[in-house]
Amino acid sequence: MSRRALLALVVLLVAAAIALETTQVAAQFGIPRIPGIPGFGRSEPQENPMDMFRAFEDMDEPQEVEVGRSVAAAVGARYKLFRDAALTKYVAMVGNTVAAASDRPDLRYYFAVLDTPEPEALAAPGGFVFISKGALDVMRDEATLAGVLGHEIGHIALKHHNETIKDQRKKALAMFGVNIGLGFVPGPAGMFTPVMSLVGDGIAEGVLKGFSRSEEMASDKVGFQYAARAGYDPAGLGEFLSALAAKKADAGVAKFMSTHPGIDDRLQEQTKMQQARTGSGKREAERFAKAMGR
Ligand SMILES: [Zn+2]
Q: How many helices (H) and strands (E) does the chain have?
A: 13, 3
Question: Which residues have C-beta within 8 Å of that of residue 37, sequence separation ≥ 6?
Answer: 19
Distance from Cα 107 to the centre of ligand 1, integer Å: 19
For residues 128, 132, 136, 138, the Cα torsion angle rounded to the nearest 10 degrees is: -130
Q: Could you tell me the distance, in angstroms and rounded to a whole number, from the CA of residue 44 to the centre of ligand 1? A: 39
- 3-state secondary structure at position 110: strand
51 CA to centre of ligand 1 in angstroms: 32
Q: How far is the CA of 45 from the centre of ligand 1 (A)?
A: 37
Dmax (CA) of the chain: 68
Q: 152 C-alpha vs ligand 1 centroid, how far in Å?
A: 6
Whole-number pLDDT of residue 60: 82
CA 238, 242, 247: angle at the middle one, nearest 5?
150
**How far is it, in rounded angstroms, from Cα 59 to Cα 186?**
11
Q: How far is the CA of 216 from the centre of ligand 1 (A)?
A: 5
HEC string of 220-273 equals HHHHHHHHHHCCECCHHHHHHHHHHHCCCCCHHHHHHHHHCCCHHHHHHHHHHH
For residue 211, how far is its CA from the centre of ligand 1 (angstroms)?
6
Parts of the chain with a pLDDT under 50:
18, 20, 22, 26, 30-53, 178-193
8 Å CB contact between 153 and 98: yes
Q: How remote is the CA of residue 8 from the centroid of ligand 1, in Å?
A: 35
Residue partners of 249: CB distance under 8 A and separation at least 6: none
Q: How far is the CA of 224 from the centre of ligand 1 (A)?
A: 13
- How far does Cα 256 stand from its chain's mean position? 15
pLDDT of residue 65: 87
Distance 153 CA to ligand 1 centre (A): 9
Q: What distance in angstroms lies between residue 219's CA and the mean position of ligand 1's atoms?
A: 6
Write 27-31 long-range contacts (CB < 8 A, 24+): 28/76, 28/81, 28/83, 28/88, 28/112, 29/72, 29/110, 29/112, 29/128, 30/110, 31/69, 31/110
The 10 Å CB-count burial string (b at 16+, else e) for 197-218 is bbbbbbbbebbeebbeeebbbb
What is the model's pLDDT at position 185? 39
Whole-number Å distance, alpha carbon 252 to ligand 1 midpoint, is: 16
pLDDT at 28: 52
* pLDDT per residue as tens digits for the range 126-177: 999 999 999 999 999 999 999 999 999 999 999 998 877 777 777 766 665 5
Q: How far apart are CA 142 and CA 92, in angstroms?
A: 12
Q: Please give the pLDDT value at position 35.
A: 34
pLDDT at residue 260, rounded to an integer: 85
Separation of CA 292 and ligand 1 centre (Å) = 23
Q: What is the pLDDT of residue 201?
A: 76
Residue 140 CA, ligand 1 centroid: distance in Å: 20
Which residues lie closer than 8 Å to 32 by C-beta, 6 or more apart? 26, 189, 190
Give me the count of residues in the chain: 294
